[in-house]
């Protein structure tokens, strides 16, 4: 009875119901959008780390993120490699240089990553296949997701990175992020040349691979005890937490998008409240009739909450479709890793139902205090 009455009430006023569904779909899609942008900040911070082959990471105490790593002595890698549970300890170099757009001559900030081409540091077959070519002097490989503002990035392009002329020998695909709109990989020798002869004994990241079946947590503690305080030892989980904390709490992008999620929920609650309050007001005579017939407030509460549930479910699918379109547009226009996943889709559905239910309950005060005689008197 309650279910049927709630559905018939919505179906009887199709235009009003469609307007309510549109309003709710808008606020749900807004939540999807802000969550997607916030998640893209967190994901972009880790996408390069996810492709690096390591069990533990050695970093400087000054490490903030890939753009601000600090450095530590290469000797620490040799000390780490001497421990019995360590299979290899490899150096990895990162730094920022100015890329010159070969067409416009404009300079743009580029993330440059260097490594010894004899070492396996990336879990990416196309980089493994390029290692021999990377050994050539003044050769770089460019990330395909580098923004178009950098100009031509095709194989054979000649331009400048910092003080040196370089040739693009190929491309790979990982992603850039919010700190850099472009990224490139080079050999460690070419990295030193690009950074005006910087010593390769100054390591930015140390990639530690452990022996098979070794416990990363246990060996992280062993390395902390064995190495001086001028280096930190991080597991992958600790690195993830460190990067996410930095981007969520210390960068404008993380804080703006995090605040956007909160504001999207607030806007959603306000819209839902307006929609439901209007619906209850317009149906007061019908609810008064049910009260006059002896139906209690509990019955009417169930009817209203079921209507709320129907409205949310009707609005959810269009909102999900709109979110998928917006995500695709953002990926195309801004080159950000904004993707839908099952967890987010389910979380937004649960959040929408929770918001609607809470808002619906708050809207019932007027209905509970209304007198049928007063309503008909109007």
pLDDT tens for 32-47 read 988 888 888 888 888 8
How high is the pLDDT of residue 371?
Answer: 58
Q: Is 70 exceeded by the pLDDT of residue 89?
A: yes
**Is the pLDDT assigned to residue 9 strictly greater than 70?**
no
Asked if 16 and 109 sit in the same domain, the reply is no
Q: Are residues 259 and 224 in the same domain?
A: no
CB crowding 278-301: b at 16 or more within 10 Å, else e: ebbeebbeebbebbeeebeeebbb
- Please check whether residue 55 lies inside any domain of the structure: no
Residues 272-308 pLDDT 10s: 777 777 777 777 777 667 767 676 767 767 777 787 7
Work out the pLDDT band at 8, boundaries 50, 70, 90.
Answer: low
pLDDT at residue 74 above 70? yes
Residue whose token pair is 């009707």: 314
Judge if 202 and 308 occupy the same domain.
no
pLDDT at residue 161, as a whole number: 95
- Is 241 inside any structural domain? no
Cα→Cα distances 126→51, 115, 130, 172, 205, Å = 12, 15, 6, 6, 22
**Bridge partner list, 86:** 210
Residue 100 lies in a domain: yes
- Which contacts qualify for 323-331: CB closer than 8 Å, 24 or more apart? 323/29, 323/32, 323/33, 323/36, 326/29, 326/32, 326/33, 326/36, 327/36, 330/36, 330/37, 330/40
Q: Please give the share of the chain, as a percent, with pLDDT higher than 70.
A: 88
Give the span between the Cα atoms of 304 and 232, in whole angstroms.
57
Is residue 132 scored above 60 in pLDDT? yes
- Looking at residue 372, what is its pLDDT? 61
Residue ranges making up the domain that contains 283: 2-44+252-377
| Residue at 323 is within a domain | yes
pLDDT value for 377? 52
pLDDT at 272: 74
Check residue 178 and give its pLDDT.
74
Distance of CA 2 to the CA centre of its chain: 42
d(CA 176, CA 331): 12
Q: Is residue 52 assigned to a domain?
A: no
At 263, the pLDDT band (50, 70, 90 cuts) reads confident
Q: Are residues 304 and 222 in the same domain?
A: no
Written as six digits, the tokens of 348 are 């937004």
Q: What pLDDT score does 260 carry?
A: 79
Instruction: Please name which of 223, 249, 312, 229 lies closest in space to residue 10, comparing C-alpha atoms.
Output: 312
- Length, in residues, of the chain: 378
Q: State pLDDT tens for residues 146-163.
A: 988 999 999 999 999 998
Considering its fold, how many domains does the chain have in total?
Answer: 2
244, part of any domain: no
pLDDT for res 367: 64
The per-residue pLDDT for 176 is 81
| Residue labelled with tokens 């972009």 | 44
Asked if residue 345 and residue 263 are part of one domain, the reply reads: yes
Q: What's residue 183's pLDDT?
A: 94
Which residue has tokens 């019908």?
286
Q: Is the pLDDT of residue 325 over 70?
A: yes
* pLDDT at residue number 137: 94
Residue 152, in any domain of the structure: yes
Do 202 and 302 lie in one domain? The reply is no
The whole-angstrom separation of Cα 320 and Cα 308 is 18
pLDDT band for position 31 (cuts 50, 70, 90): confident
Same domain, residue pair 33 and 99:
no
Element (H or E) spanning 159, and its range? strand 158-161
How high is the pLDDT of residue 106? 92
Shared domain for 337 and 207, answered yes or no, is: no
- Please state, in angstroms and rounded to a whole number, the distance separating the CA atoms of residues 242 and 203: 19
Do 109 and 181 touch, CB atoms closer than 8 A? yes
Query: Do both 317 and 185 map to the same domain?
Result: no
- 245 domain residue, yes or no: no
Q: If pLDDT is split at 50, 70 and 90, which confidence band does 267 have?
A: confident
Name the band, by pLDDT with cuts 50, 70 and 90, for residue 1.
Answer: low
If asked whether residues 27 and 73 sit together in one domain, one would say no
Task: Say if residues 79 and 230 touch (Cβ distance below 8 Å).
Answer: no
- In the predicted structure, residue 59 carries a pLDDT above the cut 90: yes
**Mean pLDDT for the chain overall:** 85
State the virtual CA torsion across 277, 283, 285, 287 in degrees, nearest 10.
Answer: -90
Pairing of strands 107-115, 183-187: parallel
Same domain, 328 and 203: no
86, 115, 169, 336 from 149: Cα distances, Å: 43, 26, 19, 15
375 has a pLDDT exceeding 60:
no
Q: Are residues 102 and 20 in the same domain?
A: no
Q: 219-248 pLDDT, tens per residue? A: 999 999 999 999 999 999 999 988 888 877
Q: Which of 230, 264, 296 is the last residue of a domain?
A: 230
- How far apart (Å, rounded) are the C-alpha atoms in residues 188 and 119? 11
Buried-exposed string 191-223: b where 16+ CB fall within 10 A, e elsewhere? bbbbbeeeeeebbbbbbbbbeeebebeebbebb
Distance from C-alpha of 272 to C-alpha of 288, rounded to nearest angstrom: 23
Helices 297-334 and 2-12, axial angle in degrees (round to 10): 60
Q: Is the pLDDT of residue 139 over 70?
A: yes
Listed in order, strand segments (DSSP E) in 24-138 are 56-59, 72-73, 86-100, 107-115
pLDDT at residue 201 above 90? yes
């Amino acid at each position: 009875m309650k279910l049927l009455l709630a559905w018939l009430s919505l179906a009887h006023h199709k235009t009003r119901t469609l307007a309510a569904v549109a309003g709710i779909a808008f606020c749900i899609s807004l939540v999807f959008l802000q969550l997607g942008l916030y998640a893209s900040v967190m994901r972009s911070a880790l996408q390069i780390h996810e492709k690096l082959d390591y069990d533990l990471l050695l970093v400087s105490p000054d490490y903030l993120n890939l753009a601000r790593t600090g450095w530590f002595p290469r000797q620490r890698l040799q000390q780490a490699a001497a421990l019995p549970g360590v299979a290899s300890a490899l150096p990895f170099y990162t730094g920022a240089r100015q890329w010159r757009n070969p067409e416009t001559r404009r300079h743009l900030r580029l993330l440059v990553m260097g490594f010894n081409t004899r070492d396996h540091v990336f879990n990416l077959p196309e980089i493994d296949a390029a290692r021999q070519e990377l050994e050539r002097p003044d050769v770089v490989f460019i990330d395909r997701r580098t923004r178009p503002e950098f100009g031509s990035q095709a194989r054979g392009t000649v331009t400048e990175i910092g003080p040196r002329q370089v040739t693009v020998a190929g491309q790979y695909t990982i992603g850039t992020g919010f700190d850099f709109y472009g990224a490139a990989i080079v050999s460690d020798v070419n990295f030193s040349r690009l950074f005006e002869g910087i010593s390769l004994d100054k390591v930015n990241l140390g990639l530690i691979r452990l022996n098979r079946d070794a416990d990363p947590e246990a060996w992280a503690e062993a390395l902390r005890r064995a190495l001086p305080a001028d280096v930190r030892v991080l597991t992958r989980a600790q690195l993830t937490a460190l990067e996410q904390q930095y981007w969520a709490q210390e960068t404008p992008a993380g804080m703006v998008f995090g605040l956007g999620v909160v504001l999207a929920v607030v806007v959603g609650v306000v819209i839902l409240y307006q929609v439901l309050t209007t619906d209850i007001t317009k149906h007061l005579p019908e609810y008064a009739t049910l009260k006059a017939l002896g139906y209690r407030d509990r019955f009417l509460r169930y009817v209203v909450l079921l209507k709320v549930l129907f409205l949310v479910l009707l609005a959810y699918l269009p909102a999900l479709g709109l979110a998928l379109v917006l995500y695709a547009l953002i990926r195309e226009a801004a080159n950000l890793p904004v993707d839908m996943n099952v967890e987010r889709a389910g979380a937004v559905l649960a959040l929408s139902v929770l918001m609607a239910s809470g808002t619906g309950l708050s809207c019932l005060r007027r209905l509970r205090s209304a007198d049928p005689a007063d309503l008909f008197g109007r």
